[in-house]
Structure 1
Amino acid sequence: MSTNEFARKARYSQSNQLDSPWLTGHTRYRSEVIEFECSRNSWCDKLELAWEQVALGFGLSEGKSYFVIQTPYVAVTVRREYLLHIVEKRPNARERFTEFALDTIQNPLEIWQISYDDGSMRLAFIGAYDTKYQMLVVIHADYGHALWNFMNCDKKALNKHRHGILVYQRFQTAKQKKQPEEAAFSEVGA
């Protein structure tokens, strides 16, 4: 759920008692919106539990604000404050996929470097599994290679995220014509 959707939910479910700055969608209001929503129902209890479950899954024990994970391409920093938006969409219950996200970071099938319209750079870690859903983990390069988001999706939806510059590939297929730019990181022939 985006900050705007979250604010709208709070506004409509709480009798229009929000001031206009709450509805701007700026991240500086996010904690205030959540605090407002938490004071009014038990939805927040589930959100906080999910947030803590994801944090623990990434090695962020009590009192620990960040954790560094080594990957085949670059070290990734997991920061507790960046994990909240991952679990805000409660119907998705993304905390269930934390172990898959961690495995995707540590053992990605591919890593794609993607330039965004706002000038930022992100890395898309692709994880493929013998299950119905696959894993996409987004690392924000402009914030010190910080874990930014993760989501599960089917194979077709995952293919939409395979664009930009391929910087790491675990396996080379016989049909492949172009190699990743960072071929030194590729486990060719594995």
Structure 2
Amino acid sequence: MSSEPSLEKAATSSIRTALGLGGVLSVILGILILVWPGKTAMVVTAIIAIYAIIAGLVYAALGIFSSSKGGWARIGHILLGVLFIIAGVVAFTNLGATTAWLAAFLGILVGIMWIIEGVVALSTLGDAPSKGWTVFFAIISIIAGITLLFSPLWGAVVLWWLLGISAIVLGIIQIFRAFSFGK
């Protein structure tokens, strides 16, 4: 019976520590994004490239060493592995260009999603409890999406800055939660 309070105290302490560390890491990431946006984006791109190379090696190994898979499945795994490895190596050969390409790609992707979100909001107008807000949201979403499509790099920069600001704000909130958790 005496071990239950100490176990609960240890669990609370662990959760507080995890919340605090998560908050501090979030604040650090947000600051890095705001202070060195280009360098931080390049680091993220490098991490993605490393992931691609590792995933490629795993897929290739699955294709080469898996005796339970059929011939076409093994060939498919090997080809997929080679493609992942090539993508990772190409990304590393010009990290700056790859970062810009990823930013443009994400800007276009978010732009398309916002346009679709606006159209879907308009399509549900008949069921919307507040038609005015639904139309307002749809118009803003469509305009924002079109803006991103016409200038995806600018849009990606704005989204990157918003991510940095959000990371700082949420990190600070997380740190406060760590201090108040369990009290």
TM (norm. structure 2) is: 0.22
Higher helix proportion: 2
Please say which structure displays the higher CA radius of gyration. Answer: 2
TM-score scaled by length of structure 1: 0.22
**Structure that is richer in strand per residue:** 1
